[in-house]
Amino acid sequence: MSGIVIAVSRHAIHAMSKPNVEAILLRAGLGVEGDAHMGVTVKHRSRVARDPDQPNLRQVHLIHSELHDELRDEGLLVAPGEMGENVTTQGIELLALPTGSRLRLGTSAVVEVTGLRNPCGQLDGIQAGLMAATLGRDERGDLVRRAGIMGIVVTGGEVRPGDAITVELPPPPHRPLQPV
């Protein structure tokens, strides 16, 4: 399984959208250098309020560009980085990956998938109806979260648009992604 990096984004302050940049530097055990969510412990404000000492399982946020295409078909125009992701991908079914999958981004960076992003109401501040559009129901009626995945940096390195992405699945049994 392989794909490519479409865009990379970061923001030094807590804001929903992150501007696209030429490259990001991933730091092992920390996240994206220069991003407000970088650190060993959780940085998302709602999670810090509950327990500031919990490990940061949300160091890197990835969204598949195919979601942007689906949203456009629903009348919502969203650009890479606008939903807060650090890496916009193409060609990999991110939501279908099992927990513990490893993504090699470019020549050296490795991100381990920790779980699903749980979309929040701030998405509606970008466009009305965006949060609802990132949620759905499967054939059993279970909630489906489509707003990307989260991961931790295992091996640091620079990541740029156009970089290759390769996927290494963990040994079975595979555990489906859960919100983190």
**Average of per-residue pLDDT across 82-93:** 98
Predicted local distance difference test score (pLDDT) of residue 44: 81
pLDDT score for 55: 96
pLDDT by residue (tens digit) across 30-85? 999 999 999 999 998 888 889 999 999 999 999 999 999 999 999 999 999 999 99
Residue 120 in this model has a pLDDT that exceeds 90: no
Give the ranges where the chain is alpha helix by DSSP (H): 45-50, 65-73, 123-126, 130-133
Distance (Å, whole) CA 130 – CA 175: 28
- Which domains, ranges and CATH numbers included, belong to the chain? 2-168 (2.40.33.20)
Alpha carbon separation from 156 to 62, 64, 107, 146 (Å, rounded): 16, 21, 10, 26
What are the distances in angstroms from CA 37 to CA 86, 136, 150?
Answer: 10, 27, 12
What's the whole-number average pLDDT of the chain?
96
Distance, in Å, from the CA atom of 13 to the CA atom of 124, rounded to the nearest integer, reads 19
